[in-house]
Every structure is written in C-alpha cells, then in structure tokens.
Amino acid sequence: MAFPSDLEIARGAALKPIEDIASEMGLPNHLLEPYGRDVMKVNLDAIEELAEAPKAKYVVVSAITPTPLGEGKTTTTVGLGQGFKHIGKRATVAIRQPSMGPTFGIKGGAAGGGYSQVVPMELLNLHLTGDMHAVTAAHNLLAAIIDNHLFQGNERGLDPHNITWRRVLDVNDRALRNIVVGLGGRGDGVPRQTGFDITAASEVMAALALTTSLEDLRARLGRIVVGYGKDGSPVTASELNAAGSMAVLLREAIKPNLLQTLENTPVLVHAGPFGNIATGNSSVVADRIGVHAGDFLITEAGFGADMGAERFFNIKCRNSALSPDAAVVVATVRALKAHSGKYRIVAGKPLPPELLQENPDDVAAGAANLRKQVENIRLHGVSPVVAVNAFPDDFASEHDAIRQIAAELGARVAVCTNFAEGGRGAAELAEAVAEAVEEPTNFRFLYPDEASLREKIETVATKVYGAGNVQYSPQAAQQLDTYERAGFGRLPVCIAKTHLSISSDPKLKGAPTGWTLPVREVRASVGAGFVYPICGDMRTMPGLGTSPAAFRIDLDEHGEVVGLS
C-alpha cells in the first residue's frame, strides 16, 4: 500500500477542540478569539497575563545548508513538538505562516509533512486569518499615499527616482517585478518605474515579526523609510501621515494564530518574513506567549543555521529579550551527500539515482557543513542537538555516519522517523533536547549594538560564513556611510545571500573558507529594525512554472480542497 498523501493524512486527523488546546497552554478564554472552528487568535494581553507562569525551555530549530528541495525542517519542528508528549512533557510549536503565492506555484502547501503536520492544512496554506492580506493592505496603502503625495504636488520634495517603497501581493507573478505606474492622462498620477514584491518580502511583514506590542508596531511603521528627498534626506511613513492607518489595518494581524498538530500539540503560527532579505523567523509576540505556555517552546528559523538561526540569535532575540536554551540542527543523508560536492540536486527534478545508493563515505565527505553549522550555534553560547530527518531510502550505515560526526563534535544526536511515525518517531530527539537544555548556557549576541555596520557585516561573514574578507561595491560603501550618518548604525544586520551555500555562491558546497563576500548594495529596513546588505541576486517576486500547482488545486464534489500536495 502506498504511503498516504499529506492531504489524506491531514483529512484523517482527530482534531481536539481548539479551546481545549488553548486551555492546556494555560490561556484563559478571554484572551482567545475564534476564527472558524479550528483556529483562534490569541490576544497580546496574554504576554502579560502569562508572565507569572513558569518559563518553558526555548529551543530553536535550524538546519545544515539545505538542498533546493528543503530538508524537512518544518516536519522535524512539528514532529519534535509532538515527540515531547511521548516523553511526558508539554511542548508548544511556533512557525511562520506559509506564503500563499508559492502554494499555487511549485510547492502546493507547507505545513510539515506525513504524520508531522499542522492542521487544518487547507486553512494554514490559504488565507488563515488574513494576516498576510492585512500586511498587503497596509503596505499598499503606504504606496498609494506616496504616489498620491507626488500627484498632489510633492510638498515634501520626494525624489521620484529614489523611492524605495514598492508594492506587494501574495502571488507568484513575475510580470509585476518591474512595472511603470502612473500612465494614462493628467489625472492618473505621475509616471515612474517601480514594481511588486511578494508579501513575505514586505518590510511591514518584517516589522510584524519583530514587534513587541501594537504601540511598538505603530512606532516601527512610522520609522519606515520610503525613499529619499531631493536633498538626500530619508522620508518616513510617519512624515506622510500613513503610520496610523497602517497600524489600524494590522490591529488583528498582530495577534498570533493558534492551531494544532496531528497529535494535538499547540502550534502558534504568526508572520512570515522572507528568509533572505528579512529574518525568516516567526514572530516575537508568538514566542513571548508560547514561552510561558508549557515545558518547551520549539520555534523554527528559516534555511540553514548561517541564515535563520544567526538572525534568530542576533536580530529576533535582540528584539524579544528571550534567551534560547538549545538549538536543533536538522541534517539529512541526501543534503550531506550533496555537500560532498559530487551530486547536483535541482528543484522539481528527480534526485540523481546514484545519490540514493548506500554510501556512508559520501555522507562523511559532506560533514564539513554540519560541523560548521554546529559551530555557528556554539558561537552564540547555545547547546546544539543534531536531528537526522530520516527518509525511507536512507541506510542505517548512513545514519551511523552522521551519529559519528556528531559524536566527534560532542553534540547530542537523534535519528527522527516522525514523518512516517509521528511524534513517536521524534521521541529520541525530544529526549536529547531535554538533556541539552539542562546544560549551562551562556547565550550571547555575536556583536554589540555599538559596533559599526561594517564591523557587524564582517563579524557575521568571517565568523559564521567562514569568509576570508568582505568587499563593498562603491554604491554599498556609500550607502553604509549614509546609514551611519542617518543614525541607522545601531541596527543589527541581516545579510541577504543565497541559502544554498554557507558562502555567497550557491555552487560552493560544504564549508568553504577564505572566499570574499561581495556586498553589492545595502538597504535599510529601518521600521522593521535592521540593515540588509545584498550579496547576490535576491529574487523578491517568484514566478509560476510551466505546470504550477494552481493547475491541480481544485474542489472535489464535496467542496473539499484537492491538490494541496
């Protein structure tokens, strides 16, 4: 019998009433707002009201540098959350809201997989409670106000050629990447070139993920820099009178969403900032609630430990004032084999057949990446745990090879079969994590606020990525000087680079050293609260393929969704 599809498994789930899930977290009824039958929003008053509850152990789930297929980090995160029940502990899971555009593109859904999923997966993948749409609306209202300002006489003296605020939509639509607006007649606005990004790339989304309260969000929105005046001075959303309305549009979106796993583990789903030009982490407010709602809070950070985890430590924790107790590094046999440099994995294509043959030596040959990512966790004073996300085609000898690498690193390790078996298959990992959090931690940021932007970039590049040095384009150098002068120098940095290599070159596997990080351009998300140097081509609006998931997603004769993976 074939293994059932994610959707088949999800449809067979025995959901608990979501109010019971909330109650087990210690969330009283007055803090909850139902959205449909299986989802609730949690009022931010929960942060204060739960503050006296015991603090959970706070665990971030990261990974080695993934292949283009992804290494099942969400599946492991969800499975680990489920696994704690099997060792008698209460855990909460925190993840990002999936972006809807890619759901209709290549992916067809992102809610974990197999017997480790967040449910109802149709809701998670489609609209949920509308937070993404609220971000879109707030972002585009600001854009409309900017173009209206130009049209109404441009009193502030905005330089039309230096407006950095674009528009956003949660759809994969390459035709919107570069557009000219304001065409038509005299009454139809001022013509200029601009474009759309996907909503996950919105600075509003990044601000939502990092904010600590509605008041703080209002202030962050006001600090958003939308462009520059003809005199070179930064122009903010606040100067254009847009921040109040934007905050009003986000009044519900700031509340985290409560769902559950297939095994009724509570899951807080909130915010979905991009993992390259933004933090790739779920929200601070969800974690601040979840960290007082059980024995463990398991939160996921996007891409490899050099990306999501580094930002988790240095940006998200700086905003949340929370200290992690352990970090999981997810590894797979196929990704380690790929880091040997012998295989080429392409998204949407079958795996090379050689890669599926038993070959523990190739696993060992790819160990450098795992070693470096474990080191990246330790750089921040946190205990690493290696999680092997087991695939049906893996061989025991290959898992042993990973155990061997972990042993050499002195790191705990567990093989996880939770995709096929649910939480039971992650009980070993839960045990390992429960041990790791008991070790003394010494969590630290990699750099102080006071360091210059260049120092911050160079610290991350050399210590985390293994770069030999950093090279700035003349434009980037000038931008860094401008930002330092404008007072943005105290912000942390979020280095936008490929997630497919620990370096800035997606072709380099393993853990290369001595290379040069090229900073082409530097942008500032002043409202969200970070500066992001751009190293490579960052695509912020995906396109659809020749046969997108949208062609298969449909309703069946009962009105149920089909085709979502």
Three-state DSSP class for residue 366: coil
Q: Is 73 annotated as a binding residue?
A: yes
Q: Is 67 marked as a binding-site residue?
A: yes
Q: Does 544 bind its own copies (CB under 8 A)?
A: yes
CB of 286 to its own copies, least distance (A): 18
**230 vs 552 by CB, closer to its own copies:** 552
- Find the DSSP H helices in 186-242: 203-210, 214-223
CB–CB of 391/397 below 8 Å?
no
Number of residues that bind its own copies (CB under 8 A): 72
How many angstroms separate the CA atoms of 252 and 170, rounded? 18
In terms of CB distance, is 130 or 381 closer to its own copies?
130
Would the annotation count 92 as a binding residue?
Answer: no
The answer to whether 136 touches 176, Cβ cutoff 8 Å, is no
Least distance CB 507 / its own copies (angstroms): 19
As measured in angstroms, the least distance from the Cβ of 131 to its own copies is: 10
Indicate if the alpha-carbon torsion angle 368, 373, 376, 382 is positive or negative: negative
In the chain, the amino acid numbered 337 is K
**How far is CA 520 from its chain centroid?**
23
Task: Determine whether the annotation assigns residue 352 to a binding site.
Answer: no
3-class state of residue 43 by DSSP = coil
Tell me the CB-side half-sphere exposure of residue 183, using CA atoms within 13 A.
Answer: 5
- Burial class (CB within 10 angstroms; exposed 0-12, middle 13-18, buried 19+) of 457: buried
Residue 34 as a binder of its own copies (CB under 8 A): the answer is: yes
Q: What is the full DSSP assignment across 242-272?
A: -HHHHHHHTTTTTSPEEEEETT--EEEE---
Residues of 321-336 as b/e, b for ≥16 C-beta within 10 angstroms?
ebbbbbbbbbbbbbbb
86-115 binders of its own copies (CB under 8 A): 100, 104
Gap between the Cα atoms of 10 and 229, Å rounded: 52
Contacting its own copies (CB under 8 A), which of 12, 48, 183, 435?
183
Neighbour tally for 239: CB within 10 Å:
17
In angstroms, what is the minimal distance from the CB of 565 to its own copies? 13
Q: What is the separation, in whole angstroms, between the first and last Cα of the chain?
A: 18
Residue 371 carries which side chain, given as an amino acid letter?
R
176 touches its own copies by CB under 8 A: yes
Check binding of 452 to its own copies (CB under 8 A).
no
SS3 of residue 530 by DSSP:
strand
Write down the least CB distance from residue 155 to its own copies, Å.
10
Q: What is the dihedral of CA 117, 170, 223, 208, to 10 degrees?
A: -20
Q: Determine if 550 is a binding residue for its own copies (CB under 8 A).
A: yes
Name the residue type at position 503. Answer: S
- Six-digit token pair at 461? 């590049």
The nearest distance, CB 277 to its own copies, in angstroms, is 18
Is residue 270 within 8 Å of 254, Cβ to Cβ? no
Q: Is 229 known as a binding-site position?
A: no
Q: Exactly one of 170, 306, 398, 421 binds its own copies (CB under 8 A); which one? A: 170
Could you say which residues in the range 366-405 bind its own copies, by CB under 8 A? none
Closest to its own copies by CB, 138 vs 522, is 138
**Measured from the CB of residue 143, what is the shortest distance to its own copies in angstroms?**
7
Q: Which stretch binds its own copies (CB under 8 A): 59-67, 88-96, 214-222, 433-441?
A: 214-222
Asked if 565 is part of the footprint of its own copies (rule: CB under 8 A), the reply reads: no
Determine if 269 is a binding residue for its own copies (CB under 8 A).
no
> Least distance from C-beta 191 to its own copies, angstroms?
8
Looking at the Cβ atoms of 160 and 381, the one nearer to its own copies is 160
Contact set for its own copies, span 504-543 (CB under 8 A): 543
Q: Does 152 bind its own copies (CB under 8 A)?
A: yes
Interface segment toward its own copies; rule CB under 8 A; list 77-85, 177-185, 375-383, 510-518: 177-185
186 binds its own copies (CB under 8 A): no
Annotation-wise, does 68 bind a ligand?
yes
Indicate whether 227 belongs to the interface with its own copies (CB under 8 A).
Answer: no
Binding-site sequence positions: 67-74
Binding-site sequence positions for ATP: 67-74
